[in-house]
């Protein structure tokens, strides 16, 4: 969440940033934050006065008793009792104000950095790279939802039978290809210096709030109401929350973690060809890279993470492009995001397979994630994450683009993992 002190010191900048995101009542939202913070200061000042007066009177009671001024001592006791009641009332007001301020801040997204293009929808995203040429298939080429039936490698009907729509069953070489991709992505992350984490795929409410999925995406997460736990939408949530309420030493930075998990999302989208097959699922597998970095180095780290994802797509021989998301298309917690899309030659469309984001100190402020500098002073850290990679659309593109008369060709980088060169 945003820092109140930054809002106060840079109010106009923050209003402009929120308006860039398309938030019309930005000024009113920030005025509410500033007013709540002023209330906090006023309540605290009054509470300090009451406590100081109560302590002063309490110290005088013993002296009054020694001097035989029993009546005055009893009056002082009554006054301290009244002041204690007042202090409890003020303390409760302060706690209520704290909760209201926190909840108000939870409703405000991160501020896009200056380099983020203006715009409201994905149509306004800025293409910063695209491969020179796109593959072309024969007129009788099939989309992946037909190919998976032809080669019996993924079964959506079985998924519907045992769970429901959006939960595919991977079979035979389809399952092997899926596992090969996971191992390939993890091995590449290991080579890049990432430390592998296998986290829980169920998190508590505090973890959801810590990384910003709550309250923003509450309706999109699977909620286990009997335990008040949530199925994760991404490994970012449990991995980043490893550092909730943690103070790191500056010398230990950066923290580089990678995790493979299933991901669960209720928002599978509307009906139509754009969400057919593997294009959008309720459950899918993903390898996620997460970094905790010094604020002075986070944008250098962002470039490094973008390059890592780009190299994965090159090794998979997939045509890709990179988009810089416009302000209106940014995720709630992001200050800047780069999306990667691969080209599906059979569908003749681009499929998003990765988002790489810098959240600056937005998540760290929620998490109370800080570091100590050489002078032992504490500062908020920056957090970053990226899909490296999400599997369903990678699978879709590999299956479609690799189709030949002899079967589906496997990229060279995966052959040592799959143990086969073609799906027939």
pLDDT 10s digits, 348-360: 999 999 999 999 9
Task: Say yes or no: 93 and 189 in one domain.
Answer: no
Query: Cβ(334)–Cβ(120) under 8 Å?
Result: no
Q: In the structure, what pLDDT confidence band is assigned to residue 72 with cuts at 50, 70 and 90?
A: confident
Residue where a domain terminates, one of 65, 81, 106: 106
Residue 182 has pLDDT above 70, yes or no: yes
Residue 250 has pLDDT above 80, yes or no: yes
- The reported pLDDT for the residue numbered 331 is 97
Task: Say yes or no: 63 and 177 in one domain.
Answer: no
Task: Say yes or no: 130 and 275 in one domain.
Answer: yes
Q: In the structure, what pLDDT confidence band is assigned to residue 272 with cuts at 50, 70 and 90?
A: low
- The reported pLDDT for the residue numbered 373 is 92
- The reported pLDDT for the residue numbered 62 is 82
Given the structure tokens 């190299």, which residue do they identify? 311
Percent of the chain with pLDDT over 90: 91
Residue where a domain terminates, one of 81, 106, 131: 106
Task: Say yes or no: 99 and 135 in one domain.
Answer: no
| 361 inside domain | yes
Is residue 204 within a helix (H) or strand (E), and if so which, with residue range? Answer: strand 202-204
Task: Say yes or no: 262 and 290 in one domain.
Answer: yes
State phi, psi for 139 to the nearest 5 degrees.
-60, -25
| 328 inside domain | yes
| 131 inside domain | yes
Mean pLDDT of 223-241: 97
CA distance 19 to 34: 18
Strand partners, 422: 409
- The reported pLDDT for the residue numbered 187 is 98
Task: Say yes or no: 325 and 365 in one domain.
Answer: yes
Q: In the structure, what pLDDT confidence band is assigned to residue 59 with cuts at 50, 70 and 90?
A: confident
Cis peptide before 393 (omega within 30 of 0): no
- The reported pLDDT for the residue numbered 277 is 95
Residue 269 has pLDDT above 60, yes or no: no
Q: In the structure, what pLDDT confidence band is assigned to residue 273 with cuts at 50, 70 and 90?
A: low
CA distances from 16 to 3, 30, 327, 380 (A): 16, 11, 11, 23
CA distance 231 to 245: 22
Strand partners, 326: none
Q: Is this model's pTM higher than 0.75 or not? A: yes
Task: Say yes or no: 15 and 91 in one domain.
Answer: yes
Task: Say yes or no: 211 and 316 in one domain.
Answer: yes
Q: In the structure, what pLDDT confidence band is assigned to residue 274 with cuts at 50, 70 and 90?
A: low
| Domain of residue 53, residue span | 4-106
* Cα angle 392-393-395, degrees, rounded to a multiple of 5: 65
| Count of domains forming the chain | 2
| 113 inside domain | no
pLDDT digits (tens, 9 = 90+) for 99-142: 999 999 999 999 999 999 999 999 999 999 999 999 999 989 99
Q: Of residues 275 and 49, which shows the higher confidence score?
A: 49
Residue 337 has pLDDT above 80, yes or no: yes
CA distances from 1 to 212, 295, 348, 357, 380 (A): 8, 16, 39, 16, 12
Task: Say yes or no: 358 and 280 in one domain.
Answer: yes
Mean pLDDT of 300-320: 98
CA distance 273 to 210: 35
């Amino acid at each position: 969440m945003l820092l109140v002190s930054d809002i106060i010191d840079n109010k106009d900048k923050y209003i402009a940033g929120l308006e860039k995101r398309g938030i019309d009542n930005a000024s009113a939202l920030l005025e509410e934050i500033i007013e709540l913070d002023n209330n906090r200061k006023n309540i605290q000042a009054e509470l300090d006065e009451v406590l100081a007066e109560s302590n002063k009177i309490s110290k005088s009671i013993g002296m009054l008793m020694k001097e035989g001024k029993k009546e005055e001592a009893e009056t002082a006791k009554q006054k301290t009792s009244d002041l204690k009641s007042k202090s409890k009332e003020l303390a409760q007001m302060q706690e209520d104000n704290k909760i209201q301020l926190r909840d108000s801040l939870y409703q405000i997204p991160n501020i896009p950095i200056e380099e983020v293009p203006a715009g409201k929808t994905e149509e306004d995203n800025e293409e910063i790279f695209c491969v020179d040429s796109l593959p072309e298939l024969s007129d009788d080429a099939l989309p992946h939802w037909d190919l998976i039936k032809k080669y019996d490698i993924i079964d959506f009907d079985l998924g519907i039978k045992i769970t429901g729509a959006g939960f595919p069953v991977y079979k035979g070489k389809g399952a092997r290809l899926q596992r090969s991709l996971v191992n390939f992505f993890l091995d590449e992350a290991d080579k890049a210096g990432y430390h592998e984490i296998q986290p829980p795929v169920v998190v508590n409410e505090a973890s959801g709030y810590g990384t910003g999925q709550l309250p923003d995406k509450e309706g999109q997460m699977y909620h286990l109401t009997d335990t008040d736990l949530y199925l994760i939408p991404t490994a970012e949530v449990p991995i980043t929350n490893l550092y909730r309420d943690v103070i790191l030493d500056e010398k230990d930075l950066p923290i580089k973690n990678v995790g493979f998990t299933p991901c669960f999302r209720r928002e599978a989208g509307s009906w139509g060809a754009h969400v057919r097959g593997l294009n959008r699922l309720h459950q899918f597998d993903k390898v996620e890279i997460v970094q905790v970095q010094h604020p002075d180095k986070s944008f250098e780290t962002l470039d490094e993470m973008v390059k890592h994802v780009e190299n994965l797509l090159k090794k998979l021989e997939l045509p890709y492009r990179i988009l810089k998301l416009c302000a209106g298309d940014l995720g709630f917690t992001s200050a800047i995001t780069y999306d990667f899309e691969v080209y599906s030659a059979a569908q003749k469309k681009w499929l998003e397979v990765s988002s790489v984001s810098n959240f600056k100190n937005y998540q760290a402020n929620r998490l109370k994630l800080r570091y100590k500098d050489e002078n032992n002073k504490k500062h908020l850290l920056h957090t970053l994450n990226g899909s490296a990679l999400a599997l369903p659309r990678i699978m879709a593109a590999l299956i479609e683009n690799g189709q030949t008369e002899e079967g589906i060709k496997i990229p060279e980088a995966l052959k040592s993992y799959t143990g086969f060169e073609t799906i027939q």
